[in-house]
Each structure stands twice: as structure tokens, then as C-alpha cells.
Amino acid sequence: MSDEKQTPVYRFTEMARKARERIKAIDFKLPGWKEIATELVPKLREARALAFKELRAQLGPVEEQEKKIRAEWAPILEVFDQGKTFLEGKLARELKEEEDRERAERKRLSDEAAEAQRQVEDALARGAEASTPAERKAAVAEGQAALQKQEEARAAAAVPVEKPKVKTAGGATATTKTTWEFELLDITKVPEHLTFRAIDEKLTAAAIKAMDERGETPSIPGLRIWPTSKASVRKGR
């Protein structure tokens, strides 16, 4: 084996090459890509940390060689950084879309429950106005059917929205980690308990989080609130 192949730069260059090829080989049209990405992200993070540790060890006190050494290591670190960022972005977008679809389904069920409530009230009104036993019987039957539908829709809508999660055979997991950001539009409209001459960011963030956990879209007078999401990936066994 040549001396060049025994150097850390060569070894990590090979690691970076294999990482790049592994990422390029992912077929994002196949259903298993999220598990592959979830396994790769912590490995890229770990490889990057090891490469950076080796870089720091090589730099040592030889400051005059730092520029040259950094130039050698920069493309290696870039592969790990770009690969991790790319896969985390893909995971975050996909998992957020799944979560949004789940929330939309809960909203649809909630709307169904409201519509069923309206049908119950209409049936009761028709029953009260019915002039014959047959009309009253039909109104009661419609009301019972609408009430059953309302109870089913409410029960389904009450199920908490769970964040989509990817778990691989190796034990790695990926979920969405959503944080809500806000900017002040009108301090006079913000509830007093969230302000003390200026807005209390911790109290405001806690209030927004509580709304989100209840399945509500966060809304506070005087604030513009929006979500930001990123993938949260943990290494498996």
C-alpha cells in the first residue's frame, strides 16, 4: 500500500466519495427512501465530526500550513455537510406534508361533525313542525342518523394529530420538529399577559405551542405567526 493511501486525507476522501455515491443512489420515488435517509443522516454527522477532529489534529501548532490543510479537507467536509443538509431538507418537507395531510383530515372530520350538528337541528325543527305522525317519524329517523354521524365524526376528529415518524431497522428515527416564529405587528392588540412594556417572547412562544398541541392554528391578535420545520434525526443502535 502506498504512503498516500495511508494518510487520513486519503481515507476520509474515500469515505466522502462513498457517501456521495450512496446519496446519489437513493431513489426518492421509492417508498423506502425515508428510512435510508434517516439511517444516513447520523452517519454523515458522525463522519463529519471524525473528519473535523482529524483536521484539527493535523492543524496543531503549524499555523503556516493551516490554509493548505484546510483546502485539502474542505471538499471532504462539504460532502458531509451538503449530504446531511440535503437529506434533512427532503425529510423535513416530506414529513411536514404528511403532517399537513393529517391535520387537513382532522379539519374535514371536524367540519363533518359541524354539518351533522346542523342536520340534527334541522331534523328536530322539522319534527316540531310536522303535521302527521309519518312526518314526525321521518324527521326523528333523520335526526338519529345525523346524530350518529356527528358522534362518529367528533370521535375521529378528537384523535390527537401524531407527527409522522420514520424508524429504520437499525433503530434510527426521523420526525418533524416544528417551531413557530412570530413578529410584532401591533403591540396594542397583543393580550396584556404576554407583554410588559414589550412582548414577552417566552410567554408568547409557550402560548403558541399550547395552541398547536391542542390542534389549533396559532393566532394571537397583533402578531403574525408562521411555522418553520426541520427534520430531527437520531442515531439508532
pLDDT in tens, 99-158: 888 778 777 877 877 777 777 777 777 777 777 777 777 766 776 777 777 677 666 656
Using CA atoms, how far apart are residues 229 and 107, in angstroms rounded to an integer? Answer: 21
pLDDT one-digit tens code per residue, 220-230: 988 899 888 77
219 and 173 in a single domain? The answer is yes
Is residue 199 classed as helix, strand or coil in its secondary structure?
Answer: strand
pLDDT one-digit tens code per residue, 77-95: 999 999 988 988 888 888 8
Q: Output the CA–CA distances (angstroms, integers) from residue 61 to 8, 52, 93, 125, 168, in the order listed.
A: 18, 16, 43, 88, 43
147 and 203 in a single domain? The answer is no
53 and 86 in a single domain? The answer is yes
17 and 72 in a single domain? The answer is yes
Q: How many domains does the chain divide into?
A: 3
Residue 233 has pLDDT above 70, yes or no: no
26 and 85 in a single domain? The answer is yes
Is residue 231 classed as helix, strand or coil in its secondary structure?
Answer: strand
pTM score of the predicted model = 0.48
90 and 141 in a single domain? The answer is no
91 and 54 in a single domain? The answer is yes
Is residue 234 classed as helix, strand or coil in its secondary structure?
Answer: strand
Using CA atoms, how far apart are residues 207 and 222, in angstroms rounded to an integer? Answer: 14
8 and 42 in a single domain? The answer is yes
91 and 107 in a single domain? The answer is no
**pLDDT cut 90: percent of the chain above it:** 18
> pLDDT at position 160, please?
61
Domain that holds residue 188: 165-234
79 and 124 in a single domain? The answer is no
Domain boundary (110, 138, 157) is at 157
* Among 82, 87, 72, 54, CA closest to 13: 72
191 and 144 in a single domain? The answer is no
94 and 149 in a single domain? The answer is no
Residue 17 has pLDDT above 90, yes or no: yes
Using CA atoms, how far apart are residues 188 and 218, in angstroms rounded to an integer? Answer: 19
Using CA atoms, how far apart are residues 190 and 199, in angstroms rounded to an integer? Answer: 8
